[in-house]
């Protein structure tokens, strides 16, 4: 559990399939799904991680996808 009172929080992916969420709790997801780490529905951005070609005994390649939409004068760039 994250105990410091920071003006921001972080989440991260480390190791083969470990994730630390914004509240400091850690989880392990070893599947080949795409996991959403953070998302803003109102602002239209998200950060996702997908594990590729992973099994327990080999090196795992990760694909990180960051999608941002910049809204200027109500038009998406």
Q: Tell me how far apart the alpha carbons of residues 26 and 38 are, in angstroms, rounded to a whole number.
A: 15
Q: Identify the helix (H) or strand (E) that includes residue 5.
A: none
User: Is the pLDDT at 71 greater than 60, yes or no?
Assistant: no
Q: What is the mean pLDDT of the chain?
A: 69
Please, which pLDDT band fits residue 34 given cuts at 50, 70 and 90?
confident
Q: Tell me how far apart the alpha carbons of residues 65 and 71 are, in angstroms, rounded to a whole number.
A: 19
Q: What mean pLDDT is predicted for residues 12-41?
A: 78
Q: What mean pLDDT is predicted for residues 34-46?
A: 76
User: Is the pLDDT at 25 greater than 80, yes or no?
Assistant: yes
Q: Tell me how far apart the alpha carbons of residues 54 and 41 are, in angstroms, rounded to a whole number.
A: 30
User: Is the pLDDT at 77 greater than 50, yes or no?
Assistant: no
Q: What is the pTM of this model?
A: 0.51
User: Is the pLDDT at 13 greater than 70, yes or no?
Assistant: yes
């Amino acid at each position: 559990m994250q105990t410091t009172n920071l003006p921001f929080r972080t989440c991260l992916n480390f190791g083969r399939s470990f994730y630390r969420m914004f509240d400091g709790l850690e989880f392990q997801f070893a599947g080949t799904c795409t996991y959403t780490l953070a998302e803003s529905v109102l602002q239209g951005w998200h950060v996702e991680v997908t594990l590729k070609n992973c099994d327990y005994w080999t090196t795992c390649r990760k694909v990180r996808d960051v999608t941002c939409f910049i809204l200027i004068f109500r038009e998406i760039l």
